[in-house]
Amino acid sequence: MTRHVAVVGAGLIGRAWTISFARGGRDVVLWDVLPGMAEETRHQIPTLLEGLKEQDLLEGQSVDEVFQRISATDDLSQALQGAIHVQENAPEKLDVKKELFAKLDAHTPEDAVIASSSSAILPSLFTQDLRHRHRCLVAHPINPPYLIPAVEVVPAPWTNPEMVTRTCALLEDIGHQPMRMNKEIDGFIMNRLQMALLHEAFRLVDQGYASAEDIDRGIANGLGLRWAFMGPFETIDLNAPGGIRDYVSRYKGMADLIGAQQTNMADWSGPVLDQLEQERRQILSTEQLAERQVWRDRNLMALAAHKSAMSKK
Ligand SMILES: NC(=O)c1ccc[n+]([C@@H]2O[C@H](COP(=O)([O-])OP(=O)(O)OC[C@H]3O[C@@H](n4cnc5c(N)ncnc54)[C@H](O)[C@@H]3O)[C@@H](O)[C@H]2O)c1
């Protein structure tokens, strides 16, 4: 019998991971520090599974088949007993992660991996003093992981590479696309790339080169179309007849020129923010934000269904 996954912290991300692991065939035991919260979260899951089923995103399984793999408890040691992988999803606060990881390390079977969903706190900061720190790491998803396969797997300096390998294998097994980092750095990979793009977008608006709407249009209807199925390196490899070296020989001059102009940072909270907010609120009022979030999630689901169908061809 395969050993279960313990999901610790039953908020937004804990709930989403639970769906991902259960859909991938793993038994999941959900726990939260708030009594009753794990069970409450478990009860919300069938509705989300119905939505996934409608889009054929349950790998041919029924809602019941997936849901019956999920249980909830208010007893942490019961959740951890026999677990092979722990996925921690408590709030993004260093003191909370530190205290919780001390408990997890003490009560989880010694051969299990303990992974945190931490978005920005480096794994070394909350695992340094642990007895079994070699099995601790970050597995950072993009919300919601049941629709977005990429997960950053980030070791602390003392994490055993075997634990990283095992985590990547587990994630692949349940349909994710792990990104294996060799060492930790602020922002990991995803946020570093996202922030690099945002810095440039803020700079362009701040210096009056273009509107927010036109920049968004260029990503949603230009670069983003390719990025939905291939990354920047594959993009440039295919954008010159001779591949990536040919691309560099053709465009390095342009890259150097632009790169030299990208060293200053716009003050995100300066006048540019007033301008961006005014522009955004003209396009979408505050009252319309929630409705537009539903639109975003619907589109994301349709895109996930499309990518899933394409990958089977
Ligand atoms: N929301 C996102 O888009 C997103 C994406 C990727 C990663 N993350 C990361 O996932 C983690 C959880 O974020 P979230 O958005 O699910 O937060 P959330 O506020 O929705 O959920 C946090 C849950 O943790 C519980 N909790 C509080 N203290 C706890 C403790 N000491 N032990 C166990 N559980 C505790 C809360 O009761 C709550 O249910 C954070 O580290 C966050 O940075 C969030």
Q: What is the DSSP string of 120-156?
A: SS-HHHHHTT-TTGGGEEEEEE-SSTTT--EEEEEE-
Q: Rounded to the nearest whole angstrom, what is the distance from the C-alpha of residue 239 to the centroid of ligand 1?
A: 41
Q: Which atom of ligand 1 is nearest to the CA of 41?
A: 39
Which amino acid appears at position 299 of this protein?
N
What pLDDT sits at residue 312?
80
Q: Of all protein residues, whose CA lies closest to atom 8 belonging to ligand 1?
A: 119
Q: Is the CB of 145 under 6 A from ligand 1?
A: no
Q: Say which DSSP state 44 is in.
A: H
Match domain 190-311 to its CATH number in 1.10.520.10, 1.10.3210.10, 1.10.1040.10, 3.40.718.10: 1.10.1040.10
Q: Is the CB of 8 under 6 A from ligand 1?
A: yes
Q: Rounded to the nearest whole angstrom, what is the distance from the C-alpha of residue 7 to the centroid of ligand 1?
A: 11
- Give just the sign of the alpha carbon dihedral 267, 271, 272, 277: positive
Q: Which atom of ligand 1 is nearest to the CA of 32?
A: 34
Residue whose CB lies within 8 A of the most ligand 1 atoms, among 73, 119, 121, 190, for a mutation test: 119
What pLDDT sits at residue 182?
98
Angle 211-296-154 from CA coordinates, rounded to 5°: 90
What pLDDT sits at residue 284?
97
Digits of tens for pLDDT over the chain (313 positions)? 689 999 999 999 999 999 999 999 999 999 999 999 999 999 999 999 999 999 999 999 999 999 999 999 999 999 999 999 999 999 999 999 999 999 999 999 999 999 999 999 999 999 999 999 999 999 999 999 999 999 999 999 999 999 999 999 999 999 999 999 999 999 999 999 999 999 999 999 999 999 999 999 999 999 999 999 999 999 999 999 999 999 999 999 999 999 999 999 999 999 999 999 999 999 999 999 999 999 999 999 999 999 988 888 7
Select from 249, 248, 215, 253 the least CA-distant residue to 233: 248
Q: Rounded to the nearest whole angstrom, what is the distance from the C-alpha of residue 194 to the centroid of ligand 1?
A: 21
Q: Is the CB of 191 under 6 A from ligand 1?
A: no
Q: Which atom of ligand 1 is nearest to the CA of 141?
A: 6
Q: Of all protein residues, whose CA lies closest to atom 32 belonging to ligand 1?
A: 33
What pLDDT sits at residue 313?
76
Locate 287 and state its tokens: 């009252």
Locate 41 and state its tokens: 């979260």
Which amino acid appears at position 162 of this protein?
E
Select from 80, 74, 76 the least CA-distant residue to 109: 80
Residue 180 has φ and ψ, to the nearest 5°, of: -85, 115
Q: Rounded to the nearest whole angstrom, what is the distance from the C-alpha of residue 10 to the centroid of ligand 1?
A: 7
Q: Rounded to the nearest whole angstrom, what is the distance from the C-alpha of residue 11 to the centroid of ligand 1?
A: 5
Contacts for 180 with CB less than 8 Å, ≥ 6 apart: 153, 164, 168
Three-state secondary-structure class, residue 106: helix
The alpha carbons of the chain give a radius of gyration, in whole angstroms, of 22
CATH 1.10.1040.10 in the chain is located at 190-311
Q: Is the CB of 148 under 6 A from ligand 1?
A: no
Query: Which CATH class name applies to 5-180?
Result: alpha beta
From CA 47, how far away is CA 229, in angstroms rounded?
Answer: 29
- Give just the sign of the alpha carbon dihedral 227, 230, 232, 238: negative
Select from 36, 45, 35 the least CA-distant residue to 12: 45
Select from 193, 216, 194, 191 the least CA-distant residue to 205: 216
Q: Of all protein residues, whose CA lies closest to atom 21 belonging to ligand 1?
A: 11
